[in-house]
Chain A
Amino acid sequence: MQDFTLSQIITNLLLATRWTIALSAIAFIGGGIVGFIVMLMRISSNRLLRWPSMLYIELFEATPLIMQLFLVFFGISVVFGINLTTWTAAAISLTTYTSAFLADIWRGAVEAIPIGQWEASKALGFSYFRQLQKVILPQAVRASIPPTVGFAVQVIKGTSLASVIGFIELTRSASSISNVTFQPFLVYSMAAAIYFCLCFPLSLWSRRLESQFSYQ
């Protein structure tokens, strides 16, 4: 068995970090788009739109991400005989999972806007979507920044679950390396430091965003 030098450990961890970043990006982009649509359905007054979105949110919030990954990757193979690639499976599960949470977070932000704002903008003759666009969403965005970023940080760390379908991302790589080097403390500390370097800037950015929106 080869011995790892410190720089080799760091190199291997950083290489694995690429997957963590890629998976997080998929989760944010896919989850953001789908989550926005689901949120619109969730706040709709139309029952046919609202109920499916409620079911969607409850279903994906209430099941662990690791099960979703497993079911999408292996379950679809068994039930339909289609073998999804690891990327497709990860994209589907991370999108559904993230979108359910984001939809709920954003719904909360929208519903926190006083009803008077809706009524006032309606009185101005705005259509439903004009109300959302001009009055409600700009205010809701500010309220939703802290929980959204908080959840984003969770998602970055949650991507480690994708190792169940074969992604060698940061956590998986760290556990593999510590199994060879028998230096779990060193390896996991470095992995933790890398996670911190990924997540902390997000929190800083969120603080800046909040102050940018605060003048309104």
Chain B
Amino acid sequence: MLIFMSRFLAQKLNIRLPRAKALIAIALSSMLAFTVFACSNGSITAQDVSDGSANADTPAVATVSGTLNQVLDAGVIKIAVPQDSPPFGSVGTDGEPQGYDVEVAKLVAESLEVELELIPVTSTNRIPYLETGRVDLVISSLGATPERAKAIYFSSIPYAPFFSGVYGSASQSVSSYEDLAGKTVGVTQGALEDLELSDKAPESIEIKRFEDNSVTISALLSNQVELIATGNTIAGEVIKNNPDANIESKFVMKNSPCYIGVRRGDLDMLEWVNVFVRHKRFSGEFDTLSQEWFGQPLEVPGF
């Protein structure tokens, strides 16, 4: 069978040899031209991408300032949401994304009175998705940093909290690093909280380091440690899943709240997003969502 096929193929090629040769040459040289070109540009860093986006000549960007109008005209908004970081965004039993960020995206579509198209992204590709116009907004537990702000715009105020904190049962009276003296605190080895705790906690603290988050949590629930230092989203999960353990937030170690990402140069959209975030925070809708997904009231730091 295979012999027959290869013979057939060779026969075909044989018949059309001169033309095929020319075609192959053209196809290959154009392919090479592209790859060489692409390679000469090197790897795509955030800087490269932002340069491309900022350049108003490229078609992908010619529409930048009009995203809001475009969305309203098309009647559909594409929003990047996470799929691997519960409770911000995770996959539901039906395969669709769900979580706090997804609910915020739904609120956006509702407020704009347009259809919502959710695009699941990873932390690697969420900014390129925005820059290349594949999504209109990024609502994907995105922290604002000066480096990232060179590539995209951020809403001027955060829409969700994200911080490391110390958590423990309500019976523990702890509200600062000093209060940790003499306590046993569990932490996931090598995590941000591990570094913070080792750096700032008093000498007499006993830090127990565990392999991963689930073990750290088990240690708290089985009373092997009195307190744990972890991310608020993980703690939220624990609080929700173990209502009997009466675990609560003690104090915040490090803050990195989440902002909505807007394409650079897209001032109309940014303006709208800012009003949206403010309005939803004042109206308490984000607070409701926070109760639902984080198991605690919305605690977004203000300045």
A interface list, Cβ under 8 A from B: 1-5, 8, 12, 15-16, 36-38, 40-41, 48-49, 52-53, 55-56, 59-60, 67, 70-71, 74-83, 96, 127, 129-130, 132-134, 137-138, 141, 163-166, 168, 173, 175-177, 179-180, 182, 209, 213
Task: Chain B residues near A165: list those with CB within 8 A.
Answer: 125
A202 to chain B, nearest CB (A): 15
Interface residues in B67-104 by Cβ distance below 8 A to A read: 83-87, 90-93, 95, 98-99
On whether the beta carbons of A78 and B48 are closer than 8 Å, the reply is yes
Interface stretch, picked from B29-37, B201-209, B255-263, B273-281, is B29-37
- In the assembled complex, the CB of A210 is this many whole angstroms from the nearest CB of chain B, namely 11
Residue of A nearest to B50 (CB): A78
A37 to B90, CA, bound (A): 44
A5–B92 CA distance with the chains assembled, in angstroms: 11
Q: A138: nearest residue on chain B (CB-CB)?
A: B3
Roughly how many angstroms separate A79 CA and B121 CA in the complex, as a whole number? 22
A137 and B10 contact, Cβ closer than 8 Å, known pairs A70-B44, A78-B52, A177-B91: yes
A40 to B14 alpha-carbon distance, docked (Å): 12
| B residues in contact with A176, CB < 8 Å | 83-84, 90-91
For chain A, what secondary structure do more than half of its interface residues adopt (helix, strand, loop), or is it mixed? Answer: helix
How many residues on B have C-beta within 8 angstroms of the other chain's C-beta atoms? 58
Contacts of B21 in A (CB 8 A): 49
B7, B58, B98, B132, most chain A CB atoms within 10 A: B132
Chain B interfacial positions (CB closer than 8 Å to A):
2-3, 6-7, 9-11, 13-14, 17, 21, 24-25, 28-29, 31-32, 35, 37-39, 41, 43-44, 48-49, 52-53, 58-61, 83-87, 90-93, 95, 98-99, 119-122, 124-125, 128-129, 131-134, 214, 293
Whether A180 and B91, one on each chain, are in contact in the complex, defined by CB atoms closer than 8 angstroms, is yes
> How far, in angstroms, from A135 to B49 measured CA to CA in the complex?
52
> Given that A49-B25, A74-B49, A163-B122 are contacting pairs, would A40 and B13 also be in contact in the complex, using a CB cutoff of 8 Å?
yes
How far is A74 from B2 in the complex, measured between Cα atoms in Å? 38
Q: Which residue of B lies closest to A3 (CB)?
A: B93
Chain A nearest CB, measured from B277 CB (Å): 24
Instruction: Choose from B43, B87, B98 the contact partner of A67 (Cβ within 8 Å).
Output: B43
Given known contacts A49-B21, A83-B60, A55 and B32 CB-to-CB distance under 8 angstroms: yes
Instruction: Please give, as numbers and ranges, the residues of chain A lying within 8 Å of B85 by CB-CB distance.
Output: 179
| Shortest distance between the CB of B90 and any CB in chain A (Å) | 4
Closest to A173 in B: B91
Q: Once bound together, how far apart are the Cα atoms of A12 and B95, in whole Å? A: 6
Whole-angstrom distance between the alpha carbons of A72 and B7 in the complex?
Answer: 34
Chain B residues within 8 Å of A49, by CB = 21, 24-25
Q: A133–B44 contact, CB under 8 A?
A: no
| Chain A residues whose CB sits within 8 angstroms of the CB of B84 once the complex forms | 175-176, 179
